[in-house]
Amino acid sequence: MNSFLLGLLATNSILLLWFYSPLKISLAKLLFKEVILDNDSFDDLVNLKFGEKLATLSGCYICMSFWSSLLIGIVIAFISNCWLMPLITFFCYPPLCYFVKKYIFDKNN
């Protein structure tokens, strides 16, 4: 149970850092040597450099929550020897992460 909650916090942290911090702007400076002003410009830049699929993945909150929850589930599975954890986290974390985004961070929208 502790690993489930810790994984949920880690997944939410990854998502909130990716979508609500200037991390994408810093990555554009490092990887592409381009100065951008907002996170949406990063997705457009990724679309130009790598294609539409990767740009969609980097800009979609639900897509990122699925893949980050699967990654966190794999890490928990290696640590705790519970090999069902990637499957559990893949189906449980994205709705919980979306709830946090919708009702805590986007209250005004």
Give me the mean pLDDT over the 54-77 stretch.
90
Count structural domains, the chain: 1
Give me the mean pLDDT over the 95-101 stretch.
88
pLDDT at 34: 84
Cβ atoms of 15 and 101 within 8 Å: the answer is yes
Which domain covers residue 81, as residue numbers?
2-105
11-52: pLDDT as tens digits? 999 998 998 888 888 988 898 888 888 888 888 888 888 888
For residue 101, how many other CB atoms are within 10 A of its CB?
18
Q: Which residues contact 35 (CB under 8 A, 6 or more apart)?
A: 28, 29
Cβ atoms of 28 and 34 within 8 Å: the answer is yes
Give me the mean pLDDT over the 57-65 stretch.
89
26 HSE (CA, 13 A, CB side): 7
pLDDT at 108: 61
